[in-house]
Structure 1
Amino acid sequence: MRKTKAEAMKTREYLILAALDTFYQKGVARASLNEIAQNAGVTRGALYWHFKNKEDLFDALFQRLCDEVAGSLEADLNNDDADMWENMHVSLINMLHRIENDPIHYKFSSVLHLKCERTDQNQAITAVIDKYENMWHDLLDAILKQCIKQHSLPADLDTALARLYLKSAIHGLIYQRLVNPERASLKENGPRFVQAVLGSLRQCPTLRKPPA
């Protein structure tokens, strides 16, 4: 019997979540499609009906979670009345809140930071990561420029350096949470850390463009 669209979407979601659990338990390189299909409770044929290979499945997982974070920011960029500074602030805090409180986001962060080896054998997977890194690179660049346009960041901010600083700081905090959870609670430290990082974008002279 042919599956309905709703049933097919449910199977796709089972596969994505089963892939996340398998990647989290074994690492991306060691996880097999057979194991993912078994964890999802479907046949390997059903998996191939939805996804071409492990990279395609990893891409779908990445897109599912990134859309939750990036969607509102992208909408705000197209709305000149939106307070981009405040929305960036809230989005960063919400992202850390998800990692601390949502098992799906926690597992995905763990996979991304700790269980996705950059080896020759894993190049197809790391290419997916690089694709989304480039997407975030462009999105963050647009956000910073919008903040400058709205006068919530200084006009002479070095956006390339500010973008690198912001990404490095947030990624570093997330990494510390994953490897030292008792010392880096996102619930206790996340909001204050975000305020400190964003405050630096406004006030740190090192993040300004050098005089011509």
Structure 2
Amino acid sequence: MTQHLPPSVSSVHSPSFRRLAWGLLAASWACALVSLVLSMARWAAIGHETGWGGWMPLSVVPSQALLVGLTPPPSMETHWRWVGVALECIPAAAMLYAVLCVHRICRSFLAGAVFGPVVVHGFRGVGWGFLAMFVTSLVYQAGVTALLSWLASGQQNGLVALGVGPFEMSVLVVGLMMLLLGHVLAEGHRLQAEADAFV
């Protein structure tokens, strides 16, 4: 039989809500850290695809480079690997900013503040973080394709490829939705402050 919470208990203080907040907090950090480690490791794995690099669950060459027909070079000098790592840091910075905003939102939820200013700024931050991920994804595409094509040509010429795929469209839409939600929560915070002023 379904159990109902007493009317005096808000759903945001229920155990299920707290579990969901903790789950989102843990999942966002776990996904971000795993993605960051794998994206960095791909540059160490170039040239080792038949050896230890074969275990990687994603392509050694970024998908943006594969779409334009670029293949992993047989070897790569260390300083070029560090250039690749630096390119990975561009979208990673936007992703980590969004995760930090999610962290603040979840901690505020766990403290019982649903319409507080921290949550409002957090959702706006997530929105701007996703929009930054859209922009940095384009910068990353250009940088990766330019680097790998330039190395493949013997450092004589290269190409720059840009494309908007499902990932870019998804983060763009989600970013705009988060900004809109931030405005809605700001209005909720204002109404709550007015209601508290009359109590």
**Computing the radius of gyration over CA atoms, which structure comes out larger, 1 or 2?**
2
TM-score of the aligned structures, taking structure 1 as reference length? 0.32
Higher helix share: 1
